Amino acid sequence: MAIRNISEALVLALLSTVAIWGALQVPEASPGETWAGIVPFGAALALGAIAVISLLGALRRANTAGDTPSTGNRGARDVIILFIIAVLYQQSFSWFGYLLPTAIVAPVALYMFGVRSPLGLALSVVLCPLAFHVIFFMLLGVYPPYGEVFDLNEFIQG
Amino acid sequence: MEIFPALLSVITDPVLLGAILLAAIVGMIVGATPGLTASAAIAMLLPITFHMPPLFALAFLYVIGKSGRYGGSIAAILFNTPGTAASAATQIDGYPLARAGKAGKAMKVATISSVIGDFMGDIMLVIGVGFIAALALKLGPPEIFAVYFAAFVVIGSVIGNSVLKGLASALLGIIIAMIGIDPISGEERYTFGMFELSNGIGLVPLMIGVFVLGEVFAQMEERRNHPAKIKSNETTDPDGNQLSWQEYKPCLPHALRGGVIGAAIGVLPGLGSAIAAFISYGEGKRRAKDPEQWGKGKLEGVAAPEAANNAVSGPSMAPLLTLGIPGSTIGAILLGVFLIHGIQVGPTLFLTDKELVYQLFACGILGIFAYGLIGYFGATRVSRIILKIPTQVLYPLIFLTAFIAAFSARGSLFDVTVMTCAGFAGWLMRKYEFNVAAFVISFVLAKGAEETFRQAMLMSKDGAMIFIERPIALAFLILGIAAIALRVRSIMKQRRKAQGALADA
C-alpha cells in the first residue's frame, strides 16, 4: 500500500511538472490583457502542491506501517489487453474503414467477456458490423470512416 | 406560472410523450442493471440526440437520468447490488425485505417514495429557479468566479473518500479543458505542436470514454478478479405482494422529509443523491420509534432514502440552468447537450429560451409519472428483463457502441482516439480511487471559470484583491475553504474513531 501511495504521488508530481512546463510555453500577454497561461499554470501549480502533500503523507505512513504483499491481478492484465485491442481497433478505422475492424473485434471482445459459443461468435462477425452500420450510417446519416488501405463498405457497394 | 402552458404544449405532442415514455423505460432498465449507470447510458446516447430538436434531446436524456436514479432501487432491493451509488442506502432495508419474500412490497414503496421525492424536488425547482436566475443576473464576473471556485472545491473535496484525490481529479479536469487555442488571446495551450489538439478535447468523446469505456474496463477487471462475485442475478421471487395504504402510511412522513432533504441538498453542486439518501436514511432512523428494526427490513427504511435520492434530480438543475454550473455528472452531460444545440446556459437562458426551460421541466414532471406508473405496475417485469440480460454479451456490445458513438459526434477519428485514452484514464481513476465525477464536472466548468476569472482580473485595479473586496465573492471563497476544512475535520474524526476502535480491540 505504501508503494502504491508513493507511486500515485509521484505520478501526480510528474503530471504537474509536465503541466507547469506546458503552461510556461504559452507566450506572454499583450499589454492590457491577462496571460493565457495563468489558469493552466495555477491549476498545475496546485496539482504540484497536492502531489507534494500526498508524497509527504505516503512517506510518513510508509515509516509507521508495514507493507502488505500485493496479490496478483489478472483483471488488470486483461484490461490492458482489451485497451490494446481498443487502440488497434480505433486506429484501423483509418486503414480499413468501419466494417472489417468491427467484424474482427466483435468476436474477440465477446470471447474476452466469456462468450464461448462458436455459433454466437460467428454470428457476431456479421451481425455486429451490420447492426451498427444500419443504425449509425444509414438511419442516423453519419458518414462512415473511409479505409485508406481497403474499405469493405466500398467493396460491397462496388 | 409558466409551467402550465408548458405542460399543455408537451401533453399535446404525442411524439414527445412517446420519447418521455421510452426514456422512462430505458432509464429504469439501465438504473436497475448492476454495473450500468444512467450517466453511462446518457453519454452513450448523446450522439444520437444531435439529430433531434433541442427539447426532444434534452427531455429524453433528462428523463433517463430521473428514471435511472429510481431504477437503481430495483437492483438494490432484488439483487443486493445497488444500480447507483445513492441506492446503497435503499439496499440496507430493501434487500432484507426481498429475502423475507416482500420484494414486490419494497419495490412499490420505493416507487411511491421516489415519485413523491422527485415531484417535491421539481416543484421547488419550478418555483425557485426564476428567483435564482434573477439573482444570478445581478452577479458580476468576480462573484461568478467565486461561485465556480466554491463549486470546484466542494465537488473535489466532498465527493469520494479522499480530499486530496478529489481535488487532484478536479485540477486534472481543469488542465485537460485548457488544451487547445485560448478563445481570448488565440494562443495555443498544451497542443505540443499537434494540429488535432488545437480544437481542444471534445466533451462527448471524453464523457463516452470516462463513463462508458472506463466502465467496460472496470467490469472486465471485476469479472476476472472476482468471478464468484458476478451474480447470475439469482434472487428472491420478485412477485412479492400488494401494498396497502395502512402499510404505506408510516412511510409517508419519511418520504416527505426525504423529499425536503433531497431538494435542499440538490441545489448545492456536487453533493449529489448518495449523500442525500444517506442523510435521509440516518435522519429517518434517528426519528423512528423502533430504530433497532432499521436495517432488518423496514419499509420506512426504503421510503426515506428513495425519496431523498430522487428529490435531488430537479433542484440539481437550478445551478446548471441559472449559473451554468452542473451539480452532477448527468447535469454536466446535459450542459453539453445545451451547448451542442447552440443554447447558452446561464442567467440569460431565462430571457432567451424561457419557453424551452419550462417545457423541459414539464417533460421532467411527466417523466416522473411515467416511471412511477411503469415502476408501480411493471417493476417486477423490468426485473425479469434484467434477469435475462446476459452481461457477457452486454458489455462487449457497449464496448463496440462506445467507438461508433464517439465517432458519430463529429465524424472525427481523433475523437475516437480521445475516447479510447479517456476510457483507459477513467478506469485508472476508478482503480486508484480518484474522483471521476469531479474530473468531468471540472472539465465542463473550467472554460467558464477561466473566462470569468480573466474578466474579473481585467476589471480589477488591485489584481486578485477584487475577489476579497466584493462581499458576495468573498462569501463564496470562504464557503469553498470552509467546505475543505469541514471535510478534512470529518475525515480526521472518522480516522481517530477507527484508531480508537482498533486500540480497544
Question: Which has more confidence, A56 or A67?
Answer: A56
pLDDT of residue B232 exceeding 50, the answer is: no
Per-residue confidence (pLDDT) for residue B472, from 0 to 100: 87
The residue to which cell 463516452 is assigned: B208
CB contact under 8 A, A51 and B192: no
Rounded to the nearest 5 percent, the helix, strand and coil shares of chain A are: 75, 0, 25
CB contact under 8 A, B403 and A89: yes
Most confident of A103-112, B106-115, B322-331, B341-350: A103-112
Cα atoms in the Cβ-side hemisphere of radius 13 Å centred on B228: 0
Tell me, what DSSP letter sits at residue A70? P
| CA–CA gap between residue B404 and residue B398 (Å, rounded) | 10
Per-residue confidence (pLDDT) for residue B503, from 0 to 100: 66
Averaged pLDDT score across all residues of chain B:
83
| CA–CA gap between residue A64 and residue A52 (Å, rounded) | 19
Number of structural domains (chain B) is 1
Per-residue confidence (pLDDT) for residue B249, from 0 to 100: 86
CB contact under 8 A, A23 and B395: no
Query: What is the domain range of residue B487?
Result: 3-227+238-504
How close is the nearest chain A Cα to the Cα of B193, in Å? 11
Per-residue confidence (pLDDT) for residue B447, from 0 to 100: 86
Provide CB contacts within 8 A for A147, sequence distance 6+.
Answer: A93, A94, A95, A96, A97, A100, A153, A154
Q: Of B107-116, B318-327, B379-388, which range is least confident?
A: B379-388
Does residue B176 form part of some domain?
yes
Q: Please, what is the angle between helix B163-177 and helix A2-24, to 10°?
A: 30
Mean pLDDT of B376-388: 76
Per-residue confidence (pLDDT) for residue A39, from 0 to 100: 92
Q: Does B449 touch chain A (CB under 8 A)?
A: yes
Q: Please, what is the angle between helix B163-177 and helix B141-158, to 10°?
A: 130
B180 forms bridges with which residues in the sheet? B189
The residue to which cell 476502535 is assigned: B501
From the centroid of its chain, how far is CA B106? 24
Q: Which of residues 236-295 of B touch A (CB under 8 A)?
A: none
pLDDT of residue A88 exceeding 90, the answer is: yes
CB contact under 8 A, B400 and A128: yes
Does residue B197 form part of some domain?
yes
- Residue A157 pLDDT class (50, 70, 90 cuts): confident
| CA–CA gap between residue B61 and residue B84 (Å, rounded) | 17
Chain B neighbors of A49, CB-CB under 8 A: none
Mean pLDDT of A87-112: 94
What ipTM is given for this predicted complex? 0.92
pLDDT of residue B356 exceeding 70, the answer is: yes
Question: Each residue of B272-320: pLDDT tens digit?
Answer: 677 788 788 888 887 888 877 888 888 888 898 899 888 888 888 888 8
pLDDT of residue B233 exceeding 50, the answer is: no
- Residue B235 pLDDT class (50, 70, 90 cuts): very low
Q: Of A38-47, B151-160, B225-234, which range is least confident?
A: B225-234
Mean pLDDT of B351-380: 88
Does residue B335 form part of some domain?
yes
Question: Each residue of A125-140: pLDDT tens digit?
Answer: 999 999 999 988 887 7
Closest Cβ–Cβ partner in B164, B225, B449 for A74 = B225
Mean pLDDT of A28-55: 90
Chain A neighbors of B48, CB-CB under 8 A: 140
| CA–CA gap between residue B438 and residue B177 (Å, rounded) | 13
Per-residue confidence (pLDDT) for residue A93, from 0 to 100: 94
Chain B neighbors of A93, CB-CB under 8 A: 407, 413, 416
Does residue B233 form part of some domain?
no
SS3 of residue B37 by DSSP = coil
Per-residue confidence (pLDDT) for residue B241, from 0 to 100: 63
- Residue A15 pLDDT class (50, 70, 90 cuts): very high
Mean pLDDT of B377-390: 76
Question: Each residue of B92-151: pLDDT tens digit?
Answer: 888 888 878 888 888 889 999 999 999 998 888 888 877 777 777 778 889 888 888 887
Contact by Cβ (8 Å): B283, B87: no
Mean pLDDT of A5-16: 93
Q: Which residue in chain B has the smallest CA separation from A82?
A: B217
Q: H or E stretch including B180? A: strand B180-181
CB contact under 8 A, A39 and B449: yes
How many CB pairs below 8 A link A and B? 162
Does residue B232 form part of some domain?
no
How close is the nearest chain A Cα to the Cα of B151, in Å? 15
Closest Cβ–Cβ partner in B190, B222, B449 for A75 = B222
Picking from A20, A24, A34 by the largest number of B CB atoms within 10 A of its own CB, the best residue to mutate is A34
- Residue B230 pLDDT class (50, 70, 90 cuts): very low
Mean pLDDT of B45-69: 85
Question: Which has more confidence, B1 or B194?
Answer: B194
Question: Each residue of B450-486: pLDDT tens digit?
Answer: 988 988 888 888 788 888 888 888 988 898 888 788 8
Averaged pLDDT score across all residues of chain A:
89
Q: Which residue in chain B has the smallest CA separation from A134?
A: B404
Mean pLDDT of B367-372: 92
Per-residue cell: A85 = 485491442
